[in-house]
Structure 1
């Protein structure tokens, strides 16, 4: 491990220098808390206060205790504000109809002490009646999440799923079984969303980010650790316009238009990339974490030699970001992938199960025509696509051997991969005019393979979507969301064959 210092460089950039130091609290890999699978306790939601009248761009300075009452703040990023310097971000150009497969019993997903209701387990893809006539441009969920965000082609936002921490962004922590319109964001145009275990980020066309939900670790980035943010509040970030967002279980990543990476939230396994796990002792036997309450820039990226010696990688501008439960992965504009955070099960791809506290280059992809285009994270695994095809490392099974370094998915060799969704242990891939899925038992229907094939160790085509053009895939802990193209007669015919469910 090493620390980093910085001197002023050309054009306002920073030049890193590194110093080797003795690791602290890191004699061995920290045991990982498995994401929400045993999450049986449900904290009582704190009583909601009135909305804060102060400007959203000025975050509360006072540090709140983790059991503070919830507090909302009102945003100010409306389209009516004038700033000629702002270049608007665009929604994804491909649009389509929402298709869902999996479990709609939100309180049941990932909790072993509850019994599933068969009527709420959908093992084949379905359309959702609430989105009839509404075309979507973006969907977001996460391998640790039981809630989802939907962005329409007009930039309006809907939410669905678990709401115990206010992550649906509708002003309360009540149970809502159906699709909810996020009226709190009605005056904004949202172009992208990201969700973690119990929090949500929303990116507007003006490059601002709003957050809601669980904030006990500072993962909403509003400047405090207020327990719950009921309505989307603007994160405390003024450096530049933001272009990309991603959420881990209890942390978040953002990228600005210069390609700089920032992180905030829980640092427990080094997933924030600041060369620390944030541990400190309150008393001689009580441990706590120094949460990052506002976005903090990740200043250095490294590669390691065989003897473990770190060397800084220069000229890193971020192009793609992804987060698992407790690890992070990125790709820069030179197609170089990096990973850091919890190293268990080989999910970092460095051929060793060691935690990494600083973004580390995945050397497997070094070399001519060996780069990475896109990267995706599951709970305990990572997937990358590029010129060489599609690769997976980590573990997608609950038991058995893990891939300690990237290995090609031979069954998908030669396919043109468009989008990948990573659930807790399941994987769903949109490739050409097909959807391919696999995952071990137990599943909740997220594979969409049918009533009689509820799990599969090998990739299988989803027959009911054969011939469909899936634009985007996103997986939650026990379900899959897909945006399916609906432009041609063939597209419409395939969609019409799918049954509709009411939420």
Structure 2
């Protein structure tokens, strides 16, 4: 439960950041590439900074601080750190190319990064081998964040999977790009024509969500999800591990998860791992 704030309280102290686990590319920001078994504090990084968001990809990490600053570290062979080069980085380093462009959210894919600015613009960097940067005629990789020009409406949320990305706009539309889900779809839905958004290398509107207003999107290894303002959760893509709560092996278009799965409560927040989903609920009155 959040604590009620009061004007008389002292300002919050600078955040403490801890890291542990796999560290083959320096993604923990500790200055080396050795795996770490116990949480270690990054003493120098968080001085005088408040952390807004933390996220990680296949081998890189990103932190957004209050004020919209972006710090990155780890694997960078495709320029996914957006630093203008392709050398791995062992310490959290500011992305200087974004100075004067405050970041609201970062989504780290396997070898690429999607950035959402505070004014609702989407940027991307890293590998573009599968169209995951949303720049169809761009290079195979990009080392400096570039605008996803075809997203012309203000964006409120972004997500990144293995080789695909999503964005939800202020009006509630969902766009997807990158061909990461297409191979699974062709294998598991033989003889069926896949919808354009599964094969597009540029932002393509996700069909099947026309009657809902999306407020959040998520991506896993090869699945996607969208949460509506009515607390309805839609899912599509691979169901190899049962993450879509259906009997189908693959959902080519979004399918709403029945509210009874959530004990007749609306979904208020969702999180996605590589092959699983987690939902938080709140009570929803059902009409007779």
TM-score range for the pair, normalised by the shorter chain length: 0.7 to 0.9
Looking at structure 2, the residues matched to 372 and 95 of structure 1 have their Cα atoms a distance apart, in angstroms, of 32
Q: 1:260 to 1:133 in 2, by over 3 A?
A: same
CA contact (8 A) 1:337 1:365 kept: no
Looking at structure 2, the residues matched to 256 and 217 of structure 1 have their Cα atoms a distance apart, in angstroms, of 23
- Please report the RMSD computed on the Cα atoms of aligned residues, expressed in angstroms: 2.8
Aligned with 1:103 (options 8, 16, 21): 21
Alignment of 1:72-111 (within 5 A): 97-103=15-21, 105-107=23-25
Q: 1:140 to 1:108 in 2, by over 3 A?
A: closer
Looking at structure 1, the residues matched to 260 and 138 of structure 2 have their Cα atoms a distance apart, in angstroms, of 38
CA contact (8 A) 1:167 1:212 kept: yes
Residue 293 of structure 1 corresponds to 201
Looking at structure 2, the residues matched to 343 and 337 of structure 1 have their Cα atoms a distance apart, in angstroms, of 15
Residue 211 of structure 1 corresponds to 124
CA contact (8 A) 1:210 1:232 kept: yes
Alignment of 1:9-28 (within 5 A): none
**Could you state the TM-score of these two structures normalised by the residue count of structure 2?**
0.81
Looking at structure 2, the residues matched to 100 and 213 of structure 1 have their Cα atoms a distance apart, in angstroms, of 26
Aligned with 1:244 (options 146, 153, 157): 157
Residue 334 of structure 1 corresponds to 230
Q: 1:225 to 1:360 in 2, by over 3 A?
A: farther
Residue 256 of structure 1 corresponds to 169
Alignment of 1:244-323 (within 5 A): 244-266=157-179, 267-268=181-182, 269-270=184-185, 276=194, 291-301=199-209, 315-323=211-219
Offset, 1:151: 1.2
Looking at structure 1, the residues matched to 170 and 159 of structure 2 have their Cα atoms a distance apart, in angstroms, of 15
Residue 220 of structure 1 corresponds to 133
Looking at structure 1, the residues matched to 67 and 205 of structure 2 have their Cα atoms a distance apart, in angstroms, of 32
Offset, 1:179: 1.4
Secondary structure at the counterpart of residue 344 of structure 1: coil
Secondary structure at the counterpart of residue 97 of structure 2: helix
Offset, 1:366: 6.8
Looking at structure 1, the residues matched to 128 and 13 of structure 2 have their Cα atoms a distance apart, in angstroms, of 32
Secondary structure at the counterpart of residue 45 of structure 2: helix
Looking at structure 1, the residues matched to 87 and 126 of structure 2 have their Cα atoms a distance apart, in angstroms, of 12
Secondary structure at the counterpart of residue 265 of structure 2: coil
Residue 89 of structure 2 corresponds to 176
Aligned with 1:198 (options 106, 111, 114): 111
Looking at structure 1, the residues matched to 202 and 13 of structure 2 have their Cα atoms a distance apart, in angstroms, of 33
Q: 1:199 to 1:298 in 2, by over 3 A?
A: same
Aligned with 1:137 (options 40, 52, 70): 52
CA contact (8 A) 1:217 1:291 kept: no
Is 1:386 equivalent to 2:246 in the alignment?
no
Offset, 1:376: 1.2
Residue 36 of structure 2 corresponds to 121
Looking at structure 2, the residues matched to 134 and 225 of structure 1 have their Cα atoms a distance apart, in angstroms, of 35
Offset, 1:291: 4.3
Looking at structure 1, the residues matched to 19 and 255 of structure 2 have their Cα atoms a distance apart, in angstroms, of 36
Q: 1:103 to 1:372 in 2, by over 3 A?
A: same
Q: Deviations over 1:330-366 (max 9, x none)?
A: 111110111110110211111x151000010111547
Looking at structure 1, the residues matched to 18 and 161 of structure 2 have their Cα atoms a distance apart, in angstroms, of 22
Q: Deviations over 1:114-163 (max 9, x none)?
A: xxx99541423523422222222122224xx2211111111111101111
Secondary structure at the counterpart of residue 224 of structure 1: coil
Which structure 1 segments of 5+ residues have no match?
1-93, 110-116, 279-289, 302-313, 389-503
CA contact (8 A) 1:264 1:292 kept: yes
